[in-house]
Amino acid sequence: MTLTIIELPHVGESVTEGVIAKWLVEPGEHVRKYDPLVEVITDKVNMEVPSPYAGILLRTLVAEGDTVLMGHAIAEMEVQGAVSASAPEKPSAVAQGPAVAKTTFEFVDSVRSVGPTGSGEGGQGRPDAIQDAANSASSKRLSPLVKRLVAQHGIDAAKIAGTGVGDRITKEDVLAFVVSGRSPSANPYPEPVDGLASHVIPLTPWRKTIAEHMARSTREIPAAWSMIEVDVTGLVAYRAAQRERFERDTSMALTYLPFAAYIVAQSLMANPMLNARWDARGIVMNDHVNLGIAVSTDAGLIVPVLHGADALGVRDLAVRAAAFIDAARADKLKLQDVQGGTFTLNNTGALGSIVSAPIINHPQAAIVTTEAIVKRPVVVEGDAIVVHSVMNLCMTFDHRVCDGAEAGRFLADLKLRFETIDETSTLL
């Protein structure tokens, strides 16, 4: 047996830290190689970290809810067999215990244990996975926090439907079960807050991560805001004319999102400063558009990235965006799906918003929102007043990277591209 220190693995240069969401193995418990060890949340994605070895988890070095730098020690494990240590510590002159090896490990693409949804149902994809009753039992393994909540409220865990990875029961599942009145304690937070008739919804690690990322953006980026009104009457007519054929050919709904993604990507290539980012060395210019699409999920906001969006047409963007949105809401995105974004597009109009002030997705230089399309009276040539379909485009940009004139030219270019679409266009 070798005493080995397990470190939080590096998952990409843009991911520097993660929040320990929950330990999936308790100290003293045996774990197989590639079994899920701990759930970690980064500002990019939620993922399970697999055990790099078979052995016994001796103790955890960080608690659930802690924010940990990549490469930081998180646990000690007694490993079966010899371990090749990347940085072995010298044995203590006093203690005569086993040698200590410090172990780091990278994610393995072929192992399904790695990724935002971890091992998946029944651990499929792990090279040593055995699809039997033992696997089914491990899927109901309770974290220490969940065990404490279950005991506190006198709940039979078997009656709780797990929504976590592999149907595991999460803290939120227990609290939802309690609030639903199906447990002896009807309110998990019976104490009033500040003497008021209120209660606390605990912060999930994902919500904490979103909060920290947004706070970092507002703290570090001197942001400016601008808006422009766009007449999209022609786009509305074109979509209506193409909708039935597109949906028949693809079995997908034709929304306005792929049109907006296409126009934004093409305009960014013509206005590259908006597709750049601030760096201590200077302004980093990106040669291609990796377009982030903001998606609202039950867990919070996530931004999958359409890599190489500048080379894609409306149809391809529609297919890829729909796949990413479905994957995001099903918690099935891979880490690479949310990395490398150069610009973000947010469709706040889907919620009925007509004006918004989005927060820049650090370290990008700008973010644009497409607002709701509404009918408005518009003055046209000859001073005639007609009813047209109008949409606002709102943009927040990093004033270190570009000035108001550059931001204005970008918005004007977007407006021109939107307004030149009509029923004769050939975008699909």
Instruction: Find where tokens 């004319």 sit.
Output: 241
Is the pLDDT at 163 greater than 80? The verdict is: no
pLDDT tens, residue by residue, 204-220: 777 777 888 888 899 99
Among this protein's residues, is 403 annotated catalytic?
yes
Structure tokens at 137: 């039992």
399 included as an active-site residue: yes
- CA distance linking residue 282 with residue 265, whole number of Å: 23
Domains located in the chain, CATH noted:
2-139 (2.40.50.100), 223-419 (3.30.559.10)
CB 25 within 8 A of CB 138: no
- CB of 226 closer than 8 Å to CB of 397: yes
Look at phi and psi of residue 261 and say left if phi exceeds 0, alpha if psi is from -120 to 50, else beta.
Answer: alpha
Catalytic residue among 128, 249, 403, 422: 403
pLDDT in tens, 341-397: 999 999 999 999 999 999 999 999 999 999 999 999 999 889 999 999 999 999 999
The mean pLDDT value of the chain amounts to 81
Is the pTM higher than 0.75?
no
d(CA 284, CA 217): 17
Kindly calculate the radius of gyration of the chain based on its CA atoms and give it in whole angstroms: 25
In 3D space, the residue among 124, 210, 122 whose CA is nearest the CA of residue 167 turns out to be 122
Candidates 132, 399, 413, 422; catalytic one: 399
pLDDT of 330 over the 60 cut: yes
Taking 50 as the threshold, does the pLDDT of residue 411 lie above it? yes
Query: How much of the chain is helix, strand and coil, in % rounded to 5?
Result: 30, 25, 45
Around Cβ 162, how many Cβ atoms within 10 Å? 18
Name the H helices within 11-64.
none
CA distance 234 to 425: 9
pLDDT at residue 291, rounded to an integer = 98
Q: What is d(CA 288, CA 265) in angstroms, rounded to the nearest whole number?
A: 9
- Residue 132 has a pLDDT of 35
